[in-house]
Structure 1
Amino acid sequence: MAEKQHFKGDQKVPLRSPLAAGERRIIQYLVPRLPGWIEGYQLTLTTILWSAGVLAAGYLARRNLNWLWLASAMLFMQWFTDSLDGALGKYRDFGIPKWGYYMDHLLDYLFMAAALGGYALLFDGRDRTLWLVMIAVFGAFMVNSFLSFAATGEFKITFLGTGPTESRLALIILNTLIIIFGTGFVQVALPYAPYVLGSAFIIVVYSTQRHIWQLDMEDKRRRGQGRKDV
């Protein structure tokens, strides 16, 4: 009988990004101090609230850009709960890793789509279409992570030195700049964004497939050597 493989979806490859080390220290400090009545799954499900909030903020910002402060607050709260949900389950050894893997990343996609969809509501015409295109591009990065995990057993969520925390921070900075300077500079830069992100995605896919190819070739050589030894 084959040995049952241990689930590794809750064991991400260590983050390699500018904010990763500081983020780990914050999580290690906060997790033991969370109230006992808070469960990891509750933190996971709060992303539904943050998604609704960030989408509503984008819609309301059409009349008053100061509503983007609410969008930034939703980005911060989603970082807070998303960073702590799995860590809390591991710390208490009372987590539900399979459900957590599924729901956490499904809701991560929902929040990403809501955050970018909020910008789509703020802008009109071609700019709205470009924001919707970027939902597909960011979704492609997530698909790459899941397919790579299925092929290698390594779950990686940082790309080209950038992880989810850096992405959230970038959107908070963008919100602040829009509130101060208006949307004009975004309309100038936005047409180039899909090309930049698309190029980054091509680089990530090439690197990922090359790594998987090397793993397959090593396995193929081992199998060939094993047949020779028989």
Structure 2
Amino acid sequence: MLTFLGTVGSFIVLLGFLLATFYDRTFLLLGIVGLAINWFGDSLDGRIAYYRNIPRKWYGFSLDIIMDWVSTVLIGMGYLVYARNEYELIAFAFVVLYGWAMIISQLRYKITDVYSIDSGVAGPTEIRIILAIMLILEAAFGHVIEYFGAILCTVLFIINIIDSRKLLKMGDVRDHAERAERLAKAEKEHLAS
């Protein structure tokens, strides 16, 4: 239910963008409510399940990742509708870059067996705060979201490049460790025979 509530929050952000596009940009403030609802549902779903001792580790993990992607696409679609002319590309870039960050977190989990959605610099909560600030400034002044969006995409791109390099190094270390383990096992079996 909390995962569903988080996704509803993303629909509210989309609605805020749509209303701002066709009526008045102050409707962007509705997006802040949507981001807060999204954060509430997305942050508490797994924690409450573990607190109640009813976790569904793999189902919950899978559902959370899928709904995070749906939420990212909904928010990106809202910005795409709101954006003017060539600034529509920023919405596309944001969805792609955030999706890249999500893929990195899943691969990091596969390689390290430690689940972390934060890159060390920014995670989903910080991104929501940045988006809320962007919405406030856009509602107040207009035509600034494009610049903030471009800056956010640039920062996400840099973080993704750095995290991708770290990920590849971790993968290389794990490959070497597994290869050494296989060789040691084969040597042990050879000596035993």
Question: Structure 1 length as normaliser, TM-score?
Answer: 0.75
User: Aligned ranges for residues 134-153 of structure 1 at < 5 Å?
Assistant: 134-153=94-113
User: Aligned ranges for residues 20-169 of structure 1 at < 5 Å?
Assistant: 42-62=1-21, 63-169=23-129
RMSD over equivalenced CA pairs, Å? 1.8
Q: Deviations over 1:158-182 (max 9, x none)?
A: 1142111111111111111111221
CA contact (8 A) 1:58 1:71 kept: yes
Name stretches of at least 5 consecutive residues in structure 2 with no aligned partner: none
Question: Structure 2 length as normaliser, TM-score?
Answer: 0.88
Q: CA deviation at 1:94?
A: 1.6
CA contact (8 A) 1:50 1:78 kept: yes
Greater percentage in helix? 2
Q: Deviations over 1:112-161 (max 9, x none)?
A: 12122212111121101221122111111111222232333222211142
Q: Deviations over 1:33-60 (max 9, x none)?
A: xxxxxxxxx1111233222211111111
**Residues 161, 119 of structure 1: CA spacing in aligned structure 2 closer, same or farther, 3 A cutoff?**
same
Q: Secondary structure at the match of 1:148?
A: helix
**Aligned AA for 1:125?**
N
Q: Which residue does 1:224 correspond to in 2? A: 183
**Aligned AA for 2:170?**
H
Alpha-carbon distance between aligned partners in 1 of 2:87 and 2:76, rounded to the nearest angstrom: 12
**Residues 88, 55 of structure 1: CA spacing in aligned structure 2 closer, same or farther, 3 A cutoff?**
same
Name stretches of at least 5 consecutive residues in structure 1 with no aligned partner: 1-41
Q: Percent identity?
A: 24
**Aligned AA for 1:163?**
G
Aligned residues: 188
**Aligned AA for 1:121?**
V
| More relative contact order, 1 or 2 (CA 8 Å, 6+ apart) | 1
Alpha-carbon distance between aligned partners in 2 of 1:161 and 1:200, rounded to the nearest angstrom: 8
Q: CA deviation at 1:192?
A: 5.3
